[in-house]
Structure 1
Amino acid sequence: MSFKEKFKVFPTLKTERLTLRELSQEDVNAFQIINSDSDVLRFMAIEGQGMTIEETSKWIDTMNSRFYKHRSAFVWAIALNNSDRAIGYIECTNFVRSSMTDIAYYLSKDYWNQGIMSEAIKEVIKFGFNFVGFHRIQATVAVENKASIRTLIKLGFTNEGVLRKYMLGKEFRDVAMLSILSKDIDF
C-alpha cells in the first residue's frame, strides 16, 4: 500500500482506556476550553490561547483538512473509552519522504499524571511504525517541559540533544530533540 493510500479512511485507534479518533465539530467546546488554558499551552508551538468558539471550530476544520485534503498529518482527538468527550489531541505531521514524522500532543490538565498521554503516544508509535511504515518518529520539546521529556524517554525515545533557539511556533526556543526508531520498539 502506498503512502497516499494510508489516507483513504481516517484511522481510529483504541487502547485499554482511550479512543484516538477524528476531531469533530462536537468537540468545539472541549477544545475551546483546552486551547484557552495557559498551563496546557505554555510549552506548545501552537497559537490558540483564548480562541473563541468560532476560531476553535475553524481550527478543528483545519486539523481535519490536513488529513483529508493535504494528506500532511494524522490528527486525533484523545477521548476516554467511557466518554466521547475530547480531553486532548495528538498528531503525526511533517512527513519526510514517508519515512519520518514529528509527533505533537497536549492534554487537559484535569487528566495529567494518569498515564493517559503515555498510553496515547505508545499507540501512535505502534500505528506509525506498523501501519504507516515510518523509520523514525521524533519530537521537539521545550527544554522546560520536563514532564514531556520524561514521558518520551520512558517510552523508549532517545534524547539527542538541544536545538538552540529553534523555531517553535512563532518563537525561538531551546528545544530537546527526542526520537525513536522502528528497531527500538519492543511493544
Structure 2
Amino acid sequence: MNSFFCFTFTFMITLGVTFVFSESNVTPSEQCPGQNFDGLRDRIQVIPCGKKRCKLQKNTNTTVVFKFKPREKVETLVSDVYANIGELKLPFIGVTGVSACPNIKRADTGEPAPCPLEANEEYVYTNVFPIEKYYPNTRLIVYWSLNDGNKQVICFEVPAVITSAAS
C-alpha cells in the first residue's frame, strides 16, 4: 500500500509539472486582421510571456520564435514589427525593416535556411531584441509580420506590457 501511494503521488506530481510547463509555453496571440494562418497559437513563443500578456521589461532582451510554412516560394523576408498603442504605431528600432533571412532555420534539421525559401517547407524564425530603457511604460499590441515584398508570409499580434527594469 505504501509503494502504491508513493507511485501515485510521484505520477500526479509529474503530470502536474508537465501540464504547467506545457501551458506556460503558450503565447497569447491573434491573427492579424484579414489573415488566417493555421495553428497560429501553437507556432509562436515569446519569452518572457504570461498567459494573457507578454511582459517586456526595459533593459532586457525578448526572444521571439515561431514556425511558419510559406504557401509559395519566398525570395526575401523583411520584418515589419511595431508597437500598436491605441492608434499610434511605433516601430521596434533595429527589428523593423531588417532582413529576416539570417534568422531562419529549417524546422526539420535546425540548419540555417538562407533565402530564397521553398514553398510548403516548414521553417523556424528566431529573433532576440532589446527592450530599450527609453520605451514608455505602457500596454500595447505587438504587431509582427514577415513580408516578401508586399506579400505577408506570416503575421500575428501579441498583447504586451512594457515595464520598468527590475532594481
More helix by share: 1
More strand by share: 2
- Whether TM exceeds 0.5 here: the answer is no
> TM-score w.r.t. structure 2 length?
0.27
Higher normalized contact order (CA 8 Å, seq sep 6+, divided by chain length): 2
TM-score normalized with structure 1 length? 0.25
